Structure 1
């Protein structure tokens, strides 16, 4: 696939799923904006990897669940590449595992803000420019727990369920401007976010996965490339499972 001249923002891309998504778009010729909010040194190392590979990339360190930070990232994108993104991948997210009764208001607010408001901010900032050119792609990285719910992950499941509703509603509103909005509903993906689970937890989960394995960040990245390509030109408002058949 050729994404030459496309400007792609991938939030939460210093590692894991976001890094793989950004790498694959850059490998296909896109100008990539990397973003992270928790570890600036890690983000810089990822950026250097991209530059060493010969990719065209820049990075912005900041918590884009804060609207002002998200706006600064878009300004940085324009100043660096001379235009605003034609593709936005809303991947930034955090998880929390614990009983609902142990989920403090502070934790609840942090999960909802990071997982939902970040996507709102980036879509809100990108939409006017996409509308003006009558083209654009927004892909939200969601979770199967946003569809089915997960015990001891009430805040996370709620945030992803809301993200699914956001995806469907926004797709209907922006569709007349030829802007496609979809989401990838991920199952258990082999990332640092899931490292705290035990091997027993992993084995029990895999027993219910028809493909008999967990997913990789490349699995998600490849699905993103497809959704952003002309091959998916008639797909919008979809919540697509990347879960090995689990749901």
Structure 2
């Protein structure tokens, strides 16, 4: 079995790649520009016993993803599981968001999911088995002040997930989304220690999630025995949103 994880050079994506590596799957690590970080994740996955390939592509450009698919085919790697994890956030009032910033957030978080799914799902359909798992966000469900573009993009990912699940269900391919609450990753670096403490006080569980906890849920959705779960937006958020 082969799993392709986008944005796997750090954070949740890296932990997802490492989780699948523990069971000996072939791992394809996609990254944008963080070459050395991706190689470090690859080394960890190989130490866990996995066969690993790292590939770089601008996920906003279909031609680059098509070249990436050709490279994978040259190595005999055809993803049975696609984890659309790559994402970026921009913080600020909507009145201060530029058109370029809006386009970048929508393109990376939503267009990338569209392109990767469209390009890699035909193989899954042809073998009548596959898993597409989109990493969304709690803000795609509830919205977040000062993160309108990000919330809109993740809300689009959630709707995309539900719609594509209906298209692919007859072909044995499931499509689900994991929409975490606050997670200890690099994306939290913009928050001060006081802001982190305030977040933790708002969360009934009293803490932020770990990337390992999110990767475990992604792994569960990829299992063969999870084949009746599709079109779902599952939000591990410590009771923050119910």
Q: CA deviation at 1:45?
A: 2.4
Runs of 4+ in 1 over 6 A off after TM superposition: none
Q: CA deviation at 1:17?
A: 0.2
Asked if 1:219 is matched to 2:219, the reply is: no
- Aligned residue number for residue 75 of structure 1: 70
Equivalences for residues 81-92 of structure 1 within 5 A: 82-92=76-86
User: C-alpha distance in 2, partners of 1:49/1:234?
Assistant: 32
TM-score with structure 1 length normalisation? 0.95
- Aligned residue number for residue 10 of structure 1: 5
Is this contact kept in 2: 1:168–1:181, CA < 8 A? yes
> 132, 138, 145: which is aligned to 2:132?
138
Gaps of 5+ in 2: none
Spell out, residue by residue over 1:64-84, the C-alpha distance to the aligned partner (whole angstroms, 9 max, x if none). Answer: 22111111222222211x141
Aligned-partner SS, 2:202: coil
Equivalences for residues 108-187 of structure 1 within 5 A: 108-187=102-181
Spell out, residue by residue over 1:123-169, the C-alpha distance to the aligned partner (whole angstroms, 9 max, x if none). Answer: 10112111111110000000000011000000000000000000000
Gaps of 5+ in 1: 1-5
Q: How many residues align?
A: 241
Aligned-partner SS, 2:92: coil
Q: CA deviation at 1:224?
A: 0.7
User: C-alpha distance in 2, partners of 1:196/1:173?
Assistant: 38
User: C-alpha distance in 2, partners of 1:127/1:156?
Assistant: 25
Is this contact kept in 1: 2:181–2:237, CA < 8 A? yes
User: C-alpha distance in 2, partners of 1:77/1:189?
Assistant: 31
- Aligned residue number for residue 3 of structure 1: none
- Aligned residue number for residue 15 of structure 2: 20
User: C-alpha distance in 1, partners of 2:67/2:156?
Assistant: 25
Equivalences for residues 166-245 of structure 1 within 5 A: 166-245=160-239
Is this contact kept in 2: 1:43–1:61, CA < 8 A? no
- Cα RMSD (Å) of the superposition? 1.1
- Aligned residue number for residue 49 of structure 2: 54
Spell out, residue by residue over 1:176-203, the C-alpha distance to the aligned partner (whole angstroms, 9 max, x if none). Answer: 1011000001110100011110111111
- Aligned residue number for residue 39 of structure 1: 34
Is this contact kept in 1: 2:18–2:41, CA < 8 A? no
